[in-house]
């Protein structure tokens, strides 16, 4: 088995299940990216991109193969977001660094938020929390029979399902 085949199709047996090699390697690249970012090294961006691409392939292949019953499109979409942010961050880092950047040679100089910035951020978080959906229905639940209930055998009761009214 060559390296590429191992990366694409290999599996690690853990406990009673398996993990794909791509999932493990993608997460290791993510960890390496975080550590490089903590050291303020530009290599954090391309290393993170590799990890995001690997994890994207894990989620998409899991969804398309039908191996899992859980929907993975949200996880795949999250990786697309991370890829876009990594590309943006890498370009921004390079541009700021070429313009002089921070005194220590990094692209930016990290600092603590001021009291005013903290209050603004807390206010934004509270406002977002107030308008974000809570996961609870905002209107009464409706009970509707399933379409097959009209074809029930004589003497049987229909099956009812609960559906939440859509929020607008």
How do residues 15-58 score in pLDDT, each as one tens digit? 888 888 898 999 999 999 999 988 888 899 999 999 999 999 98
Q: What is the mean pLDDT of the chain?
A: 77
Which residues span the domain enclosing 24?
1-99
Indicate whether this model's pTM tops 0.75: no
The reply to whether 127 falls in a domain is no
Q: What pLDDT is attached to residue 168?
A: 35
Q: What pLDDT is attached to residue 83?
A: 93
The reply to whether 62 falls in a domain is yes
Name the residue with tokens 């994890």: 55
H-helix segments, 99-140: 115-131
The reply to whether 87 falls in a domain is yes
Name the residue with tokens 């994207």: 56
d(CA 148, CA 103): 71
The reply to whether 34 falls in a domain is yes
d(CA 96, CA 86): 15
Q: Tens digit of pLDDT for each residue in 83-118?
A: 998 998 888 888 877 777 666 656 666 678 899 999
d(CA 54, CA 52): 5
Lowest average pLDDT, out of 24-33, 78-87, 151-160, goes to: 151-160
Please count the structural domains in the chain. 1
H-helix segments, the chain: 3-9, 21-38, 44-65, 73-98, 115-131
The reply to whether 70 falls in a domain is yes
The reply to whether 148 falls in a domain is no
């Amino acid at each position: 088995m060559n390296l590429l085949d191992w990366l694409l199709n290999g599996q690690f047996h853990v406990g009673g299940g398996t993990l794909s090699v791509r999932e493990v390697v993608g997460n290791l690249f993510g960890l390496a990216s975080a550590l490089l970012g903590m050291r303020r090294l530009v290599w954090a961006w391309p290393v993170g991109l590799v990890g995001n691409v690997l994890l994207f392939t894990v989620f998409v292949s899991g969804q398309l193969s039908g191996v899992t019953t859980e929907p993975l499109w949200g996880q795949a979409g999250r990786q697309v977001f991370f890829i876009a942010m990594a590309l943006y961050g890498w370009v921004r880092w390079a541009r700021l660094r070429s313009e002089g950047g921070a005194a220590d040679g990094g692209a930016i100089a990290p600092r603590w938020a001021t009291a005013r910035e903290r209050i603004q951020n807390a206010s934004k978080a509270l406002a977002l929390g107030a308008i974000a959906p809570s996961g609870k229905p905002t209107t009464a639940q409706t009970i509707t029979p399933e379409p097959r209930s009209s074809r029930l055998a004589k003497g049987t009761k229909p099956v009812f399902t609960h559906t939440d009214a859509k929020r607008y």
